[in-house]
């Protein structure tokens, strides 16, 4: 297995490499990189690794900037002392998020996850899988739960919503997943008789509308499964919502 380590602390670099080799002597560390700038230069000049272990806070910037400037096709395991970046990490091929201090047990679990998923990363197979499923009649969508990819039928879905620039989907049973598309792309693939774009943050299935009521020209919508925040249809969109829901 070919690995790169992106970490600006030399001691942490060495410690991580030693644990990796202890767990799997067949691992080959191709590069030890300490900054966004150095990592981008290395990626442009070398073949992709099988996996990257990446600290989030580097000397010159957050490592997320690497992946915004150089979209990668290989899996990433983030290593950090902070849990506040967990949601954002899902945007960048993250298969795991290890909180420091990293132990051999944590690392072993990550390598096990990687081995289970490695066939999907070969030649971009994840994107091929998503494309194939979404193209087959537009009746289902591929979602992510932890390290698993699941094909949900559209009739299982209650609503889509965004939070921290990530798109989530909640099914009618209350389970929550991540979707690798924005709401505009999702909306284009949905049946407008069944789904409605409530506002910039929510798209709901008609079966998820528990009740609604007028609210100063807007419409307050109550979804099931329940969301804690208040959800409104704007004054401008209210007539279209009433027509869609059959209230006119």
CATH fold of 2-120: Rossmann fold (3.40.50)
CB proximity list for 202: less than 8 A, separation 6 or greater: 159, 160, 161, 223, 231
pLDDT at 119: 56
The listed CATH number (3.40.47.10, 2.40.50.1020, 3.40.50.300, 3.40.228.10) that belongs to domain 137-245: 2.40.50.1020
Q: Give this prediction's pTM.
A: 0.53
Q: Residue 176 CB: number of other CB atoms within 10 A?
A: 13
pLDDT bin (cut points 50, 70, 90) of residue 141 is confident
* Whether 53 contacts 39, CB under 8 Å: no
Q: Where residue 158 falls among pLDDT bands split at 50, 70, 90?
A: very high
pLDDT computed for residue 134 by the predictor:
44
Do the beta carbons of residue 128 and residue 119 sit within 8 Å? no
Q: Tell me what pLDDT residue 54 has.
A: 95
Q: According to the model, what pLDDT value does residue 115 have?
A: 83
Predicted local confidence at residue 133, as pLDDT: 43
Q: What is the pLDDT of residue 68?
A: 86
Q: For residue 33, is it left (φ>0), alpha (ψ between -120 and 50) or beta? A: beta
* For residue 117, pLDDT beyond 90: no
Name the pLDDT band for 99 (thresholds 50, 70, 90). confident
For the cut 80, the answer to whether the pLDDT of residue 209 exceeds it is yes
pLDDT at 137 over 80: no
d(Cα 138, Cα 134) in Å, to the nearest integer?
5
Q: 98 is written with which tokens? A: 């290890």
Q: Give the least confident one: 86-90, 126-130, 211-215.
A: 126-130
3-class SS string, 190-214: CCCCCEEECCCCEEEEHHHEEEEEE
pLDDT in tens, 147-157: 667 778 898 99
User: Is the predicted pLDDT of residue 235 greater than 50, yes or no?
Assistant: yes
Residue 108, phi then psi, degrees to nearest 5 = -60, -40
Residue 204 phi, psi (nearest 5): -120, 145
| pLDDT value of position 87 | 63
Residue 105 CB neighbours (<10 A): 9
pLDDT at 8 over 50: yes
Nearest-angstrom CA–CA distance, 164 and 107: 27
| Distance between start and end Cα atoms, the chain | 62
Residue pair 95/77 in contact (Cβ under 8 Å)? The answer is yes
Whole-number Å distance between alpha carbons of 93 and 67: 9
Tokens of 116: 């289970």
Domain boundaries, the chain: 2-120, 137-245
* Cis peptide bond prior to 165, omega within 30° of 0: no
At 40-55, the pLDDT tens digits run 999 989 998 999 999 9
With CA atoms as reference, report the closest residue to 221 among 205, 236, 232. 232
Q: Is residue 80 over pLDDT 80?
A: yes
Q: How many CA atoms lie within 13 A of 207 on its CB side?
A: 9
């Amino acid at each position: 297995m070919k690995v790169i380590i992106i970490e600006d602390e030399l001691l942490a670099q060495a410690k991580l490499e030693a644990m990796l080799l202890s767990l799997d002597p067949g691992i080959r560390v191709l590069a030890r990189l300490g900054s966004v700038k150095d990592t981008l230069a290395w990626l442009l000049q070398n073949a992709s690794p099988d996996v990257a272990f990446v600290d989030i806070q580097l000397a010159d910037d957050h490592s997320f900037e690497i992946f915004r400037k150089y979209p990668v096709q290989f899996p990433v395991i983030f290593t950090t002392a902070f849990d506040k970046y967990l949601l954002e990490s899902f945007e960048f091929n993250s298969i795991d998020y290890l909180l420091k201090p990293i132990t051999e047990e944590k690392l072993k679990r990550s390598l096990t996850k990687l081995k289970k998923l490695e066939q999907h990363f070969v030649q971009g197979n994840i994107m091929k899988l998503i494309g194939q499923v979404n193209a087959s009649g537009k009746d289902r969508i591929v979602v992510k739960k932890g390290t698993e990819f699941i094909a949900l039928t559209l009739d299982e879905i209650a609503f889509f919503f965004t939070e921290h620039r990530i798109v989530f989907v909640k099914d009618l049973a209350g389970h929550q997943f991540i979707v690798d598309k924005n709401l505009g792309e999702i909306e284009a693939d949905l049946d407008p008789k069944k789904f409605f774009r409530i506002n910039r943050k929510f798209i709901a299935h008609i079966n998820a509308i528990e009740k609604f009521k007028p609210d100063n020209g807007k419409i307050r919508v109550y979804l099931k499964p329940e969301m804690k925040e208040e959800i409104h249809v704007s004054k401008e969109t209210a007539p279209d919502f009433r027509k869609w829901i059959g209230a006119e």
